[in-house]
Structure 1
Amino acid sequence: MEFLKDLAASLRSARTVELPKDEKAAFYMLMSMVIGNQYRSVSELLSNSKFDVNFAPGRGHRNLLHIAANCGSYDCLLILLKKGVNVNQQDVSGCTPLHLAARNGQKRCIDKLLEYKADVNIRNNEGLTTIHWLAVNGRTEVLHDLFAYVPDVDVEDAQGQTALHVACQNGHKSTVICLLDHRADINRPNHNGWTPLHFACSHGQHDSADILLRKGAKFVTDRFGKTPLGLCLEGGYSETCSVLLQYVPNLMEHLVTSVRSEKIKEADYFKVLKHVCSQGNEVADRVLMSLSEEASMIGHNLLSVSSNVEIQVSCLLKCVKVLCKLYSHVYQPPPSPTTPTTPKGLQGVMRVSPKATQVFGPLEALWQLLADWLCLLKLEFNKDNNQNNKDNNKDNKSDSHNQDSKEHTQSQEQTQENSDTPDTASAIVGRDCNQEVDPRSCDQEGILKSLCVDQDVVGVILPRICGVVHAFYICCTCQHGHPQMTSPRFIEFVCQHNKELKLLVARSPEVIFDHFHFLLECPELMSQFLHIIRAQPFESRRRWFYDNLDTEGSNREIIHSPPNDDDVLVINRERMFYSSCEGLIKQPLDKLKRGLAIRFQGEEGMGSGVVREWFDVLSREILNPDYALFTQSADGCTFQPNSNSAINPDHLNYFRFAGQTLGLALYHQHLLNVYFTRSFYKHILGIPVNYNDVASIDPEYAKNLQWILDHNIDNIGLDLTFSVETDVFGAMQEVELKPGSASLPVNEKNKTEYVQLVTELRMTRAIQPQIDSFLSGFHEFIPQALVQMFDEFELELMLSGLPEINIEDWRQFTEYSGYDENSPQIQWFWEVVEGLGQQDRVLLLQFCTGSSRVPFGGFSHLGGGGGPQKFTISQVTYQPQLLPTASTCINLLKLPEYPSKSELKERLMVALQCGSQGYAMM
């Protein structure tokens, strides 16, 4: 009968009427009911059971009272309390049911727990009490009722933090006020010395900071010297900083000097100062003037040679960048659409405003000190040169008759090549860039005192001077007020100290990449340092190229992110060329720079793999002879613009599209499986072509030009004039090489000019419209100032990557002249080649053949001037310091008989780095 009664009760309630005998099973059955506050079921099950209500299974060690308090199940909580549950039982983290109810703001549960003598002073494992939990989550309404049970409102957790600390950190205004009204200690420090104001400022809680300061909080430092203002600056909390300055005005000085802190990022610092300056021009002027004075002090410390150079340079640049950005924000607002964009001023020079003179005035002393240092360095350089001249004179007297005339000639040529040449910057500023400045006019007394007698002056001061030059450029650009024009004052400075700056850079070339970013923005100055830049390692220049490629900070990695549908280029595979051209034209440049997403029509695939495929297929399609844009060169591997491309009426638009494609690929670092002639890469780089480049399109004609240069042509009956006949769509036309020169005869004196002009006609003039259109598209993505850092071989590597070179295949199809395969020099040569990295192997291939590309079929298919031409190594008589040379048209390497493998390797690597290649006759 009892069984039937229990069965009926179970079926009516849709649950069992008894708890399982196993306490763990019983606990989990009750837990789900407690969470749902099913108090009647819980009450019935507990009434007929011996279940221990203090049972706390699992890793959490929480009993049912913890569960009820945490979920706010008030009715279940009351039942458990009546069953005698331990009201202060702690779980694995040390939390009591009261802690959990306080954390979640369960007011009714808290009241009932307190009624059953819950202890408000129990700490969890982190030292948090009930009042801490209420403050953390801003439970102000509950907090009021708790103070009657709290003997000490400033009770601390394990880190010495009070409820006021955590309330300020989390920005609970009403809780902060409530705690202060109940006499919480407003200046109580934690174990690290952080007061409530520190906590408010560290999280940008400006309302809490305002309450604290209004109630009399003190501005103090912690145990490690950190202040509330410093914490605001580190977080970029501009409004909180303004609150601090409002109550403690003398913090302005500390605000400015904080620019020296390495922990404060430039962007956060600027954000704060920008907000401060928005309070009015008077405040802005004060901030700007103070920053200018601070920058001057940092710069003077930097040039005193007694400071940490890296830290001081970083601080100086951060200070002047923030100064200039603030000045531009306050006094140089963006022009309206109706504002003329062309600066007004005498001869294009924009006048510096009186406000700029005032703001940047404190820095003038630093710029003068910079000039003084450069004058001192001029003295040092002159002294070294004089000493070297004396030593050379002694050597010349003792060994004048044994001087090698050939080496002397080479030395003269090298000196002439490295000598300074005036450039167009002198026209801008009205002075010669090589104009001498009298070093004796500089004030050196103070400078010399700062150095020990035995110090390396140049080595010590070099990075410091470069940092100050960088800062000077930033300030000049800002004062000039027109970013499209380089500051005439800065150009004048560089021209005035041209020699010293070049010598500094020559001593430590990496400073160009660290501090001389201004070169990219000023072609006049870039031309002065270009030879030094090009002498730097390829990888360093490549890194600098991509670091400066996008000055506006576009994230090229977005190419891998899921794009919007509007950003996807949908390409028709059947019309690859035309479809791609139409798609690129429709897309804004900034979108193409930010990312590139391709989807082929009718296909679902998308991502970087599809983009790579598109570039690969499209680059080959651009070379398709059906479009008549490019023609294959004599080597069968490379291409150049077709002089007869006008047969296609839209050829110039398509050349612009081809330039966009290559520029876009280079911008996003996608390699293309196409190779162009060396002369075309030169056109992209702005490097003049020479007669050697003719070999790529007409090897025999190149040999004829070489013959003219190598022989006296007077009185041999060539009857050449400064004009040539060209075939234009089947009709022969006479073209003058220069105006009015059709009857000017070519002789021994002017033959060099003739060769250069006829080279320019074949390689440049004949395809000038095509080149111009291509470059107009290419430069939309790749600025000329950046790409000119590379030579034609390096540009090919950046566009097309490093091809795989099979050394065994290379060696198998190599011939020898004067050597044989068993000669020591040949054995050493191949051992050296085996040890080269892939990049150096490519450089060697370029050096010897003029191309980094191995033709299809391998080295057995290398092409030369008259057809197939195997790679050949020719013997040359050994002379000290003699470098290997090459005749690229016939794939010939001229290798001296070096006496050792080490010297062969050293001389070969020097030749590869110097790029000593050219066309030569056999």
Structure 2
Amino acid sequence: MLYMSPDEDNKICAIESIQDLLVSIPLLLPHTVYSQFLPVVLLELCKLLRRVAGYDDYCLYKLCRNSLGVVVKDSKAMNIFHGGDDNRVMIIALQDLFPFVAELASELSRGLVSSMESVSKFGPSTSDVKDFRAFLKPLKAAVVKYQVILPLSNCIFTCEDNGIRFLYVIFDDLLTTLVMCLKAIEGLVIEKKENGGWDQYLVILKELHDISKLYQGGEEYFRTNLKDFKRLLCHLIVRYAKRGKDYGWILDQKDDINFEARRHLVMLLSPMDEYDDIHEMFIDRSRLLTESFEYVANEEPKRLRGELIMEFKDEEATGRGVLREWFFLLSQEIFNPKTGLFVACPNDPRRSFPNPSSNVDRLHVEYYRLAGRVIALALMNKIQVGIVFDRSFFLQLAGKNVSLEDIKDADPLLYSSCRQILDMDPSAVDQDALGLTFVWDINESGSIKVAELCPGGKDMIVNSSNRKAYVDLLIHHRFVASVAEKISHFARGFTDIIGGEKNLKMFFGSLALEDFDRILHGNESDICVVDWKAHTDYQGYLQNDPQIYWFWKVCVCKISTFFFFLMHQTIQQLPNNLSFFNSGVVRVVEEMTVKQRKALLFFWTSMKYLPVEGFGGLTPRLYIHKSNESIDHLPSSHTCFYQILLPVYPSMAVMKNRLSFITQDHVGCSYGIS
């Protein structure tokens, strides 16, 4: 009555009272009372405001509706729709929520249409999407309680009540509008025009996907509508997906999105950004593995997820570059077969697999946990370490079975033998041509031990009917049982960083092995100097300065010593005579080796393996700075900022000589100053 009063003071008093009510009641009342009392008050208040004010005073009505949505979404208050704990009292009927869901769906549709009309128009608001999700929650819970028939053609349901038909109509209408909008904005995405409302598309899609799962055939219908928008969906993921949100509905169909989108989503799994802790490490290079173990293996995971500060003892360098170097060196040490923790695959020495014959004492297996933590931290810090996993190792981390085809690289001899057993003529196998029983040989510290693959295995002869079971058991014991404890410790270490076993399974289950290779190892291609040069800027130098010209020339090739003298003699004419070198008079006799380029890259950036995108994937960009140091000095670097400091060398011969020093492995990491 006060609100409807023609007296302006009365109306202001009413508005302030309503606002005070919404803020104060949750703070003043016990939750047991609040959860029973407030929903009724808010529901009635929303109805009254909608009737007497509606969009004329939309802010007040929206504030009230938002407060009701918060209560509705509260899991502790969900019993208000189901008759309370004793099932005798229903505080709010589900039908009471229908008008709110309907009007919010209409608002979202209007926002979607607005977002496709112009990049200057804002799309669906965050608050509307939030309220829509809140009011949907009890409706979705109610639908789960009832059996539903395929709703795609005739919308036939077994129950007319509890919002089943209503929810499907909302789903179908909103999906139709969204698909229309996706068609319209695809061109804007191609033109790289951004719109503030597009960040809500993924949230709305998530809700529509959840609804689709409630109906037989609904999920297929949902995905069919989106099948033509793979490129656009990937753009929205990379641009707008945020940490802490649930993107399992996308990762469940990982083939529907590209590598960049999959990588972005799995990288969001870690709760890394939630912590502000700093973890400092001071490590002796000569005791890299043991001292790293002390700093990492027993530290609280939340501290490791914070900022890592790394410094090698007796060295001045610190910063991001030193951290990258530490990750690289430590990973190489952990996965070095000489360390004994992992073995290399015979068919692909780059790939590693837990060593079945390694020691199994408690301290030793804890090193596998260290390995898991280090790899997860490297991934979360976006550092490529040049390591790749064997397929059987990767599959077990994803919680998947290991088959015969999965061991091809790890044990080619066993693979070949098992394949021959399976392909042999059945009659030959049944004549005991194999001479095998269900046992296998275990190498323990150099001695061979015979173990049964199953109870009574030594008395079970392999024949045509059980040979597949024999092969499956052999693979299980060789690649699963023998390393189960080690993989378990590795997984535990990985889980410490990524935040839960569910995230572990989702991380590895959402990627193909090739995806994981590209993320962890980095770019497999040789370093391209053209790409390198295209993504390098200059400070103090100009692109056409002779020192810059010489630098890239040295990176590309080695020059015949016959011409060093000639170049030295003509050094004074070089600035005005650069065409002399471009003319082909200076002949290239030998390209700089891949190893030397990697050493130069390592000196410059503390990395030997580039991101998948190549130099374009580095942030910040590379820089060549003019150094005021004497020409007798070697170049130096700020590895954390991707900067190399280059003195003004007087000739290409001098520059080549200086670069030759820093591209040697034993000094390549010794001159960086940060």
Q: How many Å apart are 1:375 and its aligned residue?
A: 5.0
> Is 1:318 equivalent to 2:124 in the alignment?
no
Superposition pairs of residues 435-584 of structure 1, within 5 angstroms: 439=157, 441-442=159-160, 467=204, 470=207, 494=213, 497=215, 499-508=217-226, 532-550=253-271, 554=274, 567-584=279-296
Out of 289, 296, 301, the residue aligned to residue 103 of structure 2 is: 301
- Tell me if structure 1 keeps the 8 A contact 2:377–2:497: yes
1:763 maps to 479
1:738 maps to 454
> Is 1:607 equivalent to 2:607 in the alignment?
no
Alpha-carbon spacing, 1:610–1:726, altered in 2? closer, same or farther (3 Å): same
Superposition pairs of residues 165-564 of structure 1, within 5 angstroms: 219=12, 296-301=98-103, 307-308=109-110, 310=112, 314-319=126-131, 364=138, 377-379=151-153, 439=157, 441-442=159-160, 467=204, 470=207, 494=213, 497=215, 499-508=217-226, 532-550=253-271, 554=274
Q: How many Å apart are 1:605 and its aligned residue?
A: 2.6
Out of 485, 510, 513, the residue aligned to residue 789 of structure 1 is: 510
User: Residue deviations 1:326-380, cap 9 Å, x none?
Assistant: xxxxxxxxxxxxxxxxxxxxxxxxxxxxxxxxxx8x9756766899998563446
User: Residue deviations 1:758-803, cap 9 Å, x none?
Assistant: 1222222221111111111011122224312112221122212222
Aligned-pair Cα RMSD in Å: 5.8
Q: Secondary structure at the match of 1:719?
A: coil
- Tell me if structure 1 keeps the 8 A contact 2:352–2:388: yes
1:749 maps to 465
Q: Secondary structure at the match of 1:654?
A: helix
Out of 357, 360, 385, the residue aligned to residue 644 of structure 1 is: 357
Q: How many Å apart are 1:611 and its aligned residue?
A: 1.0
Q: Secondary structure at the match of 1:301?
A: helix
User: Residue deviations 1:62-97, cap 9 Å, x none?
Assistant: xxxxxxxxxxxxxxxxxxxxxxxxxxxxxxxxxxxx
* CA distance in structure 2 between the partners assigned to 1:697 and 1:679 by the alignment: 8
> Is 1:594 equivalent to 2:315 in the alignment?
no
Q: How many Å apart are 1:621 and its aligned residue?
A: 1.3
Q: Secondary structure at the match of 2:497?
A: coil
* CA distance in structure 1 between the partners assigned to 2:292 and 2:171 by the alignment: 64
TM-score using structure 1 length: 0.39
Superposition pairs of residues 857-868 of structure 1, within 5 angstroms: none
Q: How many Å apart are 1:616 and its aligned residue?
A: 0.7
> Is 1:628 equivalent to 2:340 in the alignment?
yes
- Tell me if structure 2 keeps the 8 A contact 1:694–1:702: yes
* CA distance in structure 1 between the partners assigned to 2:308 and 2:54 by the alignment: 44
Alpha-carbon spacing, 1:452–1:504, altered in 2? closer, same or farther (3 Å): closer
- Number of residue pairs matched? 440
User: Residue deviations 1:387-445, cap 9 Å, x none?
Assistant: xxxxxxxxxxxxxxxxxxxxxxxxxxxxxxxxxxxxxxxxxxxxxxxxxxx74545798
Q: How many Å apart are 1:619 and its aligned residue?
A: 0.5
Q: Which runs of 5+ in 2 are unaligned?
A: 1-7, 28-43, 75-90, 113-122, 183-199, 529-593, 598-674
Letter in 2 for 1:798: I
Q: Secondary structure at the match of 2:443?
A: strand
* CA distance in structure 2 between the partners assigned to 1:264 and 1:576 by the alignment: 63
1:670 maps to 383
Letter in 2 for 1:543: H
Letter in 2 for 1:619: S
Alpha-carbon spacing, 1:646–1:595, altered in 2? closer, same or farther (3 Å): same
* CA distance in structure 2 between the partners assigned to 1:315 and 1:604 by the alignment: 51
- Tell me if structure 2 keeps the 8 A contact 1:685–1:791: no
Bigger Rg, structure 1 or 2: 1
Alpha-carbon spacing, 1:684–1:365, altered in 2? closer, same or farther (3 Å): closer
Q: Give aligned-pair identity as a percent.
A: 20
Q: How many Å apart are 1:609 and its aligned residue?
A: 0.9
Q: How many Å apart are 1:449 and its aligned residue?
A: 9.4
* CA distance in structure 1 between the partners assigned to 2:106 and 2:47 by the alignment: 26
Alpha-carbon spacing, 1:735–1:368, altered in 2? closer, same or farther (3 Å): same
* CA distance in structure 1 between the partners assigned to 2:58 and 2:259 by the alignment: 35
TM-score using structure 2 length: 0.52
Letter in 2 for 1:655: Y
Alpha-carbon spacing, 1:503–1:646, altered in 2? closer, same or farther (3 Å): farther
Q: Which runs of 5+ in 1 are unaligned?
A: 1-214, 221-226, 243-248, 278-288, 324-359, 382-437, 474-489, 808-854, 859-922
Alpha-carbon spacing, 1:606–1:298, altered in 2? closer, same or farther (3 Å): farther
> Is 1:708 equivalent to 2:421 in the alignment?
yes
Alpha-carbon spacing, 1:537–1:312, altered in 2? closer, same or farther (3 Å): same
* CA distance in structure 2 between the partners assigned to 1:374 and 1:468 by the alignment: 22
Q: Which one has more relative contact order, counting CA pairs under 8 Å at least 6 apart?
A: 2
* CA distance in structure 2 between the partners assigned to 1:535 and 1:754 by the alignment: 37
Out of 616, 629, 643, the residue aligned to residue 328 of structure 2 is: 616
- Tell me if structure 1 keeps the 8 A contact 2:341–2:358: yes
Q: How many Å apart are 1:657 and its aligned residue?
A: 0.6
2:543 maps to none
Alpha-carbon spacing, 1:609–1:262, altered in 2? closer, same or farther (3 Å): farther
* CA distance in structure 1 between the partners assigned to 2:328 and 2:413 by the alignment: 33
Q: How many Å apart are 1:656 and its aligned residue?
A: 0.7
* CA distance in structure 2 between the partners assigned to 1:296 and 1:374 by the alignment: 19
Q: Secondary structure at the match of 1:781?
A: helix
- Tell me if structure 2 keeps the 8 A contact 1:534–1:789: no
Alpha-carbon spacing, 1:530–1:674, altered in 2? closer, same or farther (3 Å): closer
Q: Secondary structure at the match of 1:779?
A: helix
Q: How many Å apart are 1:570 and its aligned residue?
A: 1.9
Letter in 1 for 2:295: G
Q: How many Å apart are 1:732 and its aligned residue?
A: 2.4
User: Residue deviations 1:820-850, cap 9 Å, x none?
Assistant: xxxxxxxxxxxxxxxxxxxxxxxxxxxxxxx
Q: How many Å apart are 1:579 and its aligned residue?
A: 0.8
- Tell me if structure 1 keeps the 8 A contact 2:109–2:178: no
- Tell me if structure 2 keeps the 8 A contact 1:378–1:439: no
Q: Secondary structure at the match of 1:645?
A: coil
Q: Secondary structure at the match of 1:637?
A: strand
2:540 maps to none
* CA distance in structure 2 between the partners assigned to 1:257 and 1:553 by the alignment: 41
Alpha-carbon spacing, 1:468–1:691, altered in 2? closer, same or farther (3 Å): closer
Letter in 2 for 1:318: K
* CA distance in structure 2 between the partners assigned to 1:216 and 1:796 by the alignment: 69
* CA distance in structure 1 between the partners assigned to 2:124 and 2:100 by the alignment: 7
Q: How many Å apart are 1:465 and its aligned residue?
A: 13
- Tell me if structure 1 keeps the 8 A contact 2:369–2:490: yes
Q: Secondary structure at the match of 1:661?
A: helix
* CA distance in structure 2 between the partners assigned to 1:587 and 1:755 by the alignment: 42
Alpha-carbon spacing, 1:547–1:747, altered in 2? closer, same or farther (3 Å): same
- Tell me if structure 1 keeps the 8 A contact 2:152–2:221: no
- Tell me if structure 1 keeps the 8 A contact 2:384–2:520: yes
* CA distance in structure 2 between the partners assigned to 1:743 and 1:262 by the alignment: 81
- Tell me if structure 1 keeps the 8 A contact 2:442–2:451: yes
* CA distance in structure 2 between the partners assigned to 1:767 and 1:452 by the alignment: 50
2:411 maps to 698
